[in-house]
């Protein structure tokens, strides 16, 4: 789908500061535990853009276009060597 709308997110708050939309350091981590950084709110998409992107948060947008249906990889490309040569 063509996203012809303005890609700049709405910045109606925290517009002047440099805003990092996540924590970048996690302290006191323990062994055998998993850690996902917390998101921090910086800006939001306009609702119609949010509906197209699938989220109202620009930092969570993760585009995926699919793989080519026609591309065929040769064995050489896949494995990288041909011992018959």
The footprint of another protein (CB under 8 A) covers 1, 13-14, 30, 33-36, 38-39, 41, 44-45, 47-48, 50-57, 60-62, 64-67, 69
The single-letter DSSP state of residue 58 is G
Could you tell me the two tokens for 17? 């500061």
Minimum separation from the CB atom of position 2 to another protein (A)? 9
Q: Residue 4 or 82: which CB sits closer to another protein? A: 4
Minimum separation from the CB atom of position 82 to another protein (A)? 29
Minimum separation from the CB atom of position 84 to another protein (A)? 33
Q: Residue 39 or 76: which CB sits closer to another protein? A: 39
Is residue 20 within 8 A of residue 42, CB to CB? The reply is: yes
- Encode burial over 16-54: b for 16+ CB neighbours within 10 A, e otherwise: eeeeeeeeeeeeeeeeeeeeeeeeeebbbbeeebbeebe
């Amino acid at each position: 789908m063509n996203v012809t709308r303005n890609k700049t997110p709405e910045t109606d708050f925290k517009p002047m500061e440099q805003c990092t939309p996540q924590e970048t350091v996690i302290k006191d981590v323990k062994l055998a535990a998993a850690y996902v950084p917390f998101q921090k709110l910086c800006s939001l998409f306009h609702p119609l853009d949010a509906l197209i992107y699938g989220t109202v948060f620009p930092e969570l947008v993760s585009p995926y276009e699919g793989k080519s249906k026609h591309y065929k990889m040769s064995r050489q490309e896949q494995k990288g060597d041909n011992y018959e040569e």
